[in-house]
Structure 1
Amino acid sequence: MLKKTLAMNGLIAILRGLRPEEALAIGKVLYDAGFRTLEVPLNSPEPYTSIRILRDSLPEDCLIGAGTVLSPEQVQQVKAAGGQLIVMPHSDPKVLRAAKAAGLYLAPGVATPTEAFAALAEGADVLKLFPAEQMGPAVVKAWLAVLPAGTHLIPVGGINADNMGAFLQAGVSGFGLGSGLFKPGMTAADVAEKAKGYMQAWHAAR
């Protein structure tokens, strides 16, 4: 489902700092804007509650996951909350194996080809290229020349309307969008406006 969801829309909403009481409203405006993958980082307030609210309130074609997952124990808590996707800032094999054993989709963070190959060997579904602002489209193009055909790279960090096109031309499958899309204190209307802008940029770049 993850790759199908990315094919529908490659923009992933990273909702760091999301509070349970605003999860329903924020999730709805993002879904209505066209987002089909939402991630609640675990260093947010009561993240498992927000994950459960999003999963219970949004249609099945919207994938709900957790970010900043750092331990096998957190993987189990994400699954118990209804999460379907594990997103990591790193590639700890223990966490990768726990996610695959739990039957969850997996997007580990990688910053070198060595990490990328190791993560794929552990069953990663997509690779989170992080931090993307330190690499750029030239790195993506070089990586995809040697990684297995069909590897999905998702840059995260510093993504905006101005650099989406260059990354897409290099071969990425989508983008993770953080504080440029949502940050604590923003209203649902604020997020809707940001989401609209990113969605327009996504379609224009493609």
Structure 2
Amino acid sequence: MKAWLHPLPLVAILRGLQPDEAVDIGGALAAAGFRILEVPLNSPDPCTSIRRLVDALGDGYLVGAGTVLDPARVKDVADAGGRLIVMPHADTAVIRAAKQAGLYCVPGVATPTEAFAALAAGADALKLFPAEQSSPAVLKAWRAVLPKDLAVLPVGGIAPDNMAPWLAAGAAGFGIGSSLYAPGRPAADVAARARDFAEAWQHLHADSQGTRA
């Protein structure tokens, strides 16, 4: 996942996206620098939206599905051109199905036990979910035992003004949902929010690099 998470490691979670708005919303996110987009499968006709995003954005973007609960749905996502499977949980059957299909997989984990089970099943990165029930201190403790090059992405309640403590604790990026996109939100509004997130990340990343230097 490293190549996809650089230079902007923010995942757009487009829950509720309608196929007819997929191209406009995808374009707004791409213009702000977002390269990873997921359409949760509890959205209206999600595979059509995935296909339209893939066709509009091309190979330079990683598009896939979130809220994948059933291993059988992995094929549906792959058939739509999706290359990413994201889950709210750490079901190893879904992880293995994703890897067998040649897709990236980012399962949700809330404990170290889930984290290591997901990694053993082939997870490419981990989604710390929900971030609201965890804390940067918890992530810092996890980082002491997880592989050093593993990307952990907090998801849930992330805003431009609360990313700093997570980054300091070892977050590699974030998944961003309703604070970025919500059903019916105009593309121009999504574009402005996406720019705010992208600028906040770039400033924080530059500051962290300066601190390390």
For the superposition of Structure 1 and Structure 2, which TM-score range results when normalised by the shorter chain? over 0.9
| Alpha-carbon displacement from aligned partner over 1:37-65 (angstroms, at most 9, x marks no partner) | 00000000000000000001103211001
Mapping for residues 138-149 of structure 1, pairs under 5 Å: 138-149=137-148
TM-score of the aligned structures, taking structure 1 as reference length = 0.98
Partner of 1:47: 46
* 54-63 or 43-52: bigger deviation: 54-63
Deviation beyond 3 Å, 4+ runs, structure 1: none
TM-score of the aligned structures, taking structure 2 as reference length = 0.94
Unaligned runs of 5+ in 1: none
How many residue pairs get aligned? The number is 205
Partner of 2:163: 164
Partner of 1:74: 73
Structure 1 position 108 matched with structure 2 position 110: no
CA distance in 1, matches of 2:133, 2:21: 32
Root-mean-square deviation over aligned CA pairs: 0.8
Amino acid at match of 1:3: K
* 170-179 or 160-169: bigger deviation: 160-169
Structure 1 position 152 matched with structure 2 position 151: yes
CA distance in 2, matches of 1:60, 1:100: 19
Unaligned runs of 5+ in 2: 206-213
| Alpha-carbon displacement from aligned partner over 1:11-62 (angstroms, at most 9, x marks no partner) | 1000000000000000001001100000000000000000000001103211
Partner of 1:6: 5
The CA deviation at 1:78 is: 0.3
CA distance in 2, matches of 1:10, 1:137: 17
Partner of 2:60: 61
CA distance in 2, matches of 1:200, 1:131: 24
Amino acid at match of 1:199: A
Partner of 1:18: 17
CA distance in 2, matches of 1:140, 1:106: 20
| Alpha-carbon displacement from aligned partner over 1:161-192 (angstroms, at most 9, x marks no partner) | 22211111111110000000000010111101
Identical columns (%)? 61
The CA deviation at 1:149 is: 2.0
CA distance in 2, matches of 1:42, 1:66: 6
CA distance in 2, matches of 1:111, 1:161: 22
SS of the residue 2:144 aligns to: helix
CA distance in 2, matches of 1:3, 1:137: 21
CA distance in 2, matches of 1:24, 1:130: 28
| Alpha-carbon displacement from aligned partner over 1:88-108 (angstroms, at most 9, x marks no partner) | 000111111100100000000
Structure 1 position 136 matched with structure 2 position 167: no
